[in-house]
């Protein structure tokens, strides 16, 4: 089943979140896709009850690795599961870029999320500069090698998000996204020493300027098992069109 996840980033207060849901939920009610909304922490509680009667799953955008403690400003895995959260993005490029998140921290967050029953969405991807220098593959492989130590593949989603494609309107060509995701799949199988059956069950998503007008071409690619959508997920009509791709 394809995973279609929205990442609202730092947008929408409680009232806006509820209004969105009222418009969005009926538009995707018949969908056989796994629909996920990764919303700001402040919108989790108000959406939690309301999502129970829908086919939409709740996601957060970050999680700390300790279950509790003196970590001012952080949110723990049990705090998320208490609110009915099922998914959490980890290692998004904006966290790595603006908040100095390292592969070691990403690894700690991934393991903690899994041990509390959350399904992490691990984000990896290269900058424009790395791509120009031919370092795309090496960079992503390093992120995977360090990030996935001790992480289970049975409860994991990976998202390939080239940084140059995020919020730029400059989507990665479907064939190129397919190629890189194929490489990610091969590398993860190698790192974790699993066979093709196991690795083919791991959902690998594409993210970066996914829109209603490019979703069909992206999802036609054999390696792409879903998408992680930023800007276009903020509009309920547009995101429903993405969920209901051909
Ligand atoms: O960062 C993203 C999703 O996590 C992608 O953002 P955009 O869809 O706005 O490019």
Q: What CATH number does residue 76 fall under?
A: 3.20.20.70
Distance 163 CA to ligand 1 centre (A): 9
- Catalytic residue (one of 92, 94, 126, 203): 92
Q: What residue's CA is closest to ligand 1, atom 7?
A: 230
- Catalytic residue (one of 34, 94, 161, 203): 161
Confidence at residue 39, expressed as pLDDT on a 0 to 100 scale: 98
203 catalytically annotated: no
Distance 242 CA to ligand 1 centre (A): 13
Q: How far apart are CA 205 and CA 185, in angstroms?
A: 11
Q: How far apart are CA 227 and CA 218, in angstroms?
A: 9
Do the annotations mark residue 8 as ligand-binding?
yes
Do the annotations mark residue 59 as ligand-binding?
no
Confidence at residue 169, expressed as pLDDT on a 0 to 100 scale: 87
List of the chain residues with pLDDT < 70? none
Q: How far apart are CA 14 and CA 2, in angstroms?
A: 28
Distance 182 CA to ligand 1 centre (A): 20
Q: How far apart are CA 33 and CA 4, in angstroms?
A: 7
Question: How many folded domains does the chain comprise?
Answer: 1
Confidence at residue 113, expressed as pLDDT on a 0 to 100 scale: 98
Confidence at residue 118, expressed as pLDDT on a 0 to 100 scale: 98
Do the annotations mark residue 209 as ligand-binding?
yes
- Structural domain range at position 41: 3-243
Confidence at residue 14, expressed as pLDDT on a 0 to 100 scale: 98
Confidence at residue 144, expressed as pLDDT on a 0 to 100 scale: 98
Distance 137 CA to ligand 1 centre (A): 20
- CA distances in angstroms from 243 to 19, 37, 143, 203, 237, listed in the order given: 18, 11, 28, 16, 10
- From 208, 238, 241, give the residue whose CB has the most ligand 1 atoms within 8 Å, as the site to mutate: 208
- From 7, 124, 170, give the residue whose CB has the most ligand 1 atoms within 8 Å, as the site to mutate: 7
> Who lines ligand 1 at CB under 6 A?
7, 92, 161, 166-167, 207-210, 228-232
């Amino acid at each position: 089943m394809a995973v279609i996840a929205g990442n609202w980033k730092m947008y929408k207060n409680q009232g806006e979140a509820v209004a969105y849901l009222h418009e969005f939920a009926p538009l995707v009610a018949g969908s056989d896709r796994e629909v996920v909304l990764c919303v700001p922490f402040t919108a989790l509680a108000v959406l939690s009850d309301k999502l129970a009667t829908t086919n939409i799953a709740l996601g957060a955008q970050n999680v700390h690795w300790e279950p509790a403690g003196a970590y001012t400003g952080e949110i723990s895995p049990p705090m998320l599961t208490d609110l009915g959260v099922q998914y959490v993005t980890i290692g998004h490029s904006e966290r790595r870029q603006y908040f100095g998140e390292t592969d070691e921290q990403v690894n700690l967050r991934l393991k903690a999320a899994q041990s509390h029953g959350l399904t992490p969405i691990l984000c990896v991807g290269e900058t424009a500069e790395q791509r120009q220098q031919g370092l795309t593959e090496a960079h992503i492989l390093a992120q995977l090698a360090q990030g996935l130590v001790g992480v289970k593949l049975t409860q994991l989603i990976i998202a390939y998000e080239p940084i140059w494609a995020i919020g730029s309107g400059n989507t990665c060509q479907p064939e190129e996204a397919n190629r890189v995701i194929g490489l990610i799949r091969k590398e993860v199988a190698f790192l974790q020493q699993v066979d093709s059956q196991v690795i083919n069950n791991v959902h690998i998503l594409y993210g970066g300027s996914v829109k209603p007008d490019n979703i069909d071409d992206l999802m036609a690619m054999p390696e792409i098992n879903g998408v992680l959508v930023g800007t276009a997920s903020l509009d309920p009509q547009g995101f429903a069109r993405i969920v209901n791709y051909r």
